[in-house]
Amino acid sequence: MQSNLHVVPHADGWDVIHEGARYAESHHATQDEAIEAGTGLAQRENVELLIHGLDGQIRSRNRYGHGPRDIKG
């Protein structure tokens, strides 16, 4: 199972990075570009995308894939 993705500020732009990863999946000039790239990757991997603000705090999150309501018993 893949880990969740984060959009975080980094140096001169924004990174899309898996939780606990050493390196970013991608780097973007703007947060909007990073969110777009992160959304596509999160949808393909069925994981959650957490979007951070400039202060590093999570400002929004989107779940893609199987959440608790998707489990059929």
Instruction: Provide the β-strand partners of residue 51.
Output: 7, 60
Quote the pTM value: 0.86
What counts of helices (H) and strands (E) characterise the chain? 1, 5
pLDDT at 64: 87
Rounded Cα distance between 46 and 29, Å, is: 25
Q: Closest Cα partner for 54 from 27, 31, 26?
A: 31
Instruction: Count Cβ atoms below 10 Å from residue 27 Cβ, excluding itself.
Output: 17
Task: Print pLDDT tens along the chain (73 aa).
Answer: 689 999 999 999 999 999 999 999 999 999 999 999 999 999 999 999 999 999 999 999 999 876 655 444 3
How far apart (Å, rounded) are the C-alpha atoms in residues 44 and 4? Answer: 12
